[in-house]
Structure 1
């Protein structure tokens, strides 16, 4: 990519394995760089529609919603982008507390390599988890994928998005409409029990449900509860307010297929997702939530055509969301393109927003669904302030 607005792709077909890939920008191309991994298999051994945002390497990650029971396989993927080795601990919390998993401690991820850890090896039989990835030395990129199985056949798969770090106010956006369970998992990583109050934010406004409005989470444990009865098949965002810091995620069932959401925090910066497919059987919905005050955003599409690097924004539209409500916006993809990027930009004076998407493809084997909350684009960095220290002597 050589110019702002440029786009590129790396493709793999027929089970081809790709090495770990690092994307980075320099100079004017660094602000707003976004990358995504997207995969599709409508009826093969790896059946599913799966996508995840590529995140910067860091020293800590949270993922909520994996499991290690019959019919599920959750894998933790660790990538070290640096030349030196990283030492990583994978800490797993379940319904009964922190799970003793010595095989997840002191994992060595060699420089410029990848390490895959299966959850059923670390914590067999656990039904609900909050996975904390801690790099004791170095830094890593981390992601988690989840497969739904029937016997030896894979009937659905997706990536579990990264959850916001522990906080006393967390939102779970991108809850899809329709039938099926909506399993909310909440973890209280610490020495105190959590009392969590639940508020539903929907298109018609927000409300406190008559049932399941309060969830008690024991210290250092995970509680999973199906929220489908209070959501009444509507698209929504959940607001979770706790007396102690929590992390959260949701596993959503759509027929045999599953999709995930994760705890997120509101922002006023632009956000984007790339690699959105253009297919006749595919529908894209973008959920924009204004949890605090009225928000106005602009949605623009950047089409990708092979051989053309720079993209001109198209399909620009403005959406206003009342305070304490969300909008479930249907996106019409550009025509004559391979794929596209969607960008959501809060306008001047707008309140903070949460953005997520749901991509649905109709299939004769059963519909496929994927999506996740959008993190804000990294457009600014904080430069450390240098001050003179009189205690340091120079020679």
Structure 2
């Protein structure tokens, strides 16, 4: 027997036998936790939770407290441009090659005197004659006119509205007809779609430089057979405040469907075409046409007017040389990819019969597409294509055997407010096309007289009778296209020109040296 008596106390000791140690651990796990143990565990959990919360709060506070930083500001200077006048160029008198006696066949001379009207929203308009470097005359009544209005000195960014137009009825030998055109702003890049240089057709290119520095002009010509290569098309100098007159036949002879691309460096120019037609000994009309829009996916030509359709049909049957009495659409696709286009001719009154068709235009060459069987009336032409293209229309008017024609350039989209000056020609109409998907309401406020309100449904067009020589301010014209036509049904005289948006005032510029 052992001399040691049990005391009832648990003795913790390292066991040399693993089996016994495992038994002890299992026994401890089975023992219930005492109150003191629960308090210790709860305290430890609370302490850990509080520590986590303090850590999160510390991180959030660090994110909110701005740290010191250094910001480098680039030096700059606000430059306020010197206010400049708004300037437009009116075409001047109709021109002919040679004088009344037939001498000087390579030099242009003025025929008659145009009637020019202009206006400005400030009420101040100055007219200055441009020199005519390539034509005889140049008197104040026949020379191209530079119209200008001073800027708002207090706020150079103020948009000043200025506009002008001219009309001229000519009956001089083999030049008989009505020519009208708008006064236009100069540009460094222009496309001209119109004219011809075949037998009996004379087309002149006028380049007017209203700036104070010479302009160096380059020309590109295209025709029904493609690009036309000719000497003397580059480096043409147009003196400051002067006009040059060039015969298109000198660059593109015997061309039925010319298109001219004009680019300038130095001074900017106003480029226009003038065409006269003589069929044998019969005068066929005269016309002025301004720049077309740059190549576009959508082209809108408002105000296509057909007058004397029966007489036109009779004259078409006379013989060779009368083919260009028919209504056509001239199209040119720059580049190397053909264009597929949808062409719609939409009556303005919504009741007459128009036409629509699809056409594929070859890239690189000019194509004239007839638009047949249009009754007397007024239409809007819309061309939608998958490749940007240039387009313009040509119409004829007839009264018996007397005929005239007009080239119709596409109209640019307008801004909300535009100023429109009506040429002093017979029976003027303002044509308004709405190519958008929303109806539009335009308010026309004349210098004198009653306000006119025109409502144009989405995708439709309308026309309004206006007063010759009057100027209107059009409000609500954003994204619309407008043109003016003048027509004498009694004499078969017709002319057409488009309305351009106003120029934009100068704004301060921030310069970083």
Q: Could you tell me the TM-score, scaled by structure 2's length? A: 0.64
* Residues 385 and 8 of structure 1: CA distance in aligned 2, closer, same or farther (over 3 Å): closer
Change (3 A) 1:150 1:10: farther
The aligned counterpart of 1:354 is: 481
1:369 matches 2:512 = no
Alignment match of 2:380 (pick from 237, 241, 249): 237
Cα deviation 1:9-53 (Å, max 9, x = unaligned): 899xxx874344322221249711112232222465542211111
| 1:307 counterpart residue number | none
Q: Of 430, 435, 438, which residue of structure 2 is paired with 1:291?
A: 435
Q: Tell me by how many angstroms 1:94 deviates.
A: 1.0
Counterpart position of 1:146: 275
For 1:205 and 1:322, the matched residues in 2 are separated by 11
Query: Which ranges of structure 2 fall in alignment gaps of 5 or more residues?
Result: 1-118, 130-136, 153-157, 313-325
Number of residue pairs matched? 360
- Paired residue for 1:25? 149
The residue that corresponds to 1:196 in the other structure is 341
1:171–1:264 Cα contact (<8 Å) kept: yes
Deviation at 1:7, TM superposition (A): 6.5
Q: Is the 8 A contact 1:63 1:249 kept in 2?
A: no
Higher CA-based Rg: 2
Residue 389 of structure 2, aligned match among 238, 242, 246: 246
In 2, Cα distance between equivalents of 1:316 and 1:177 = 29
Aligned partners of 1:201, 1:362: CA distance in 2, in Å?
22
Q: 1:137 to 1:283 in 2, by over 3 A?
A: same
* Aligned mates of 1:43, 1:361 — CA distance in 2: 18
What residue number does 1:117 align with?
246
* Cα distance change of structure 1 residues 185 and 270 upon mapping to structure 2, 3 Å threshold: same
Distance of aligned partners of 1:61 and 1:3 in 2 relative to their CA distance in 1, 3 Å threshold:
closer
Indicate the residue corresponding to 1:101 in structure 2: 230
Separation of aligned partners in 1, 2:395 and 2:440: 27
**Are the counterparts in 1 of residues 345 and 355 from structure 2 also a CA contact under 8 Å?**
no
Residue 145 (structure 1) shift: 0.8
Does the 8 A contact of 1:88 with 1:106 survive in 2? yes
Q: Indicate conservation of the 8 Å contact 1:297/1:344, yes or no.
A: no
- What per-residue deviation string (whole Å, max 9, x for no partner) do you get for residues 71-107 of structure 1? 2111100122234322211211111111112232221
What are the superposed Cα offsets for residues 131-151 of structure 1, whole Å, 9 maximum, x if unpaired? 111114432221111111134
> In 2, distance between residues paired with 1:48 and 1:388?
56
Q: Partner residue of 2:177?
A: 48
Q: Gaps (5+ residues) in structure 1? A: 303-312, 334-338, 390-395
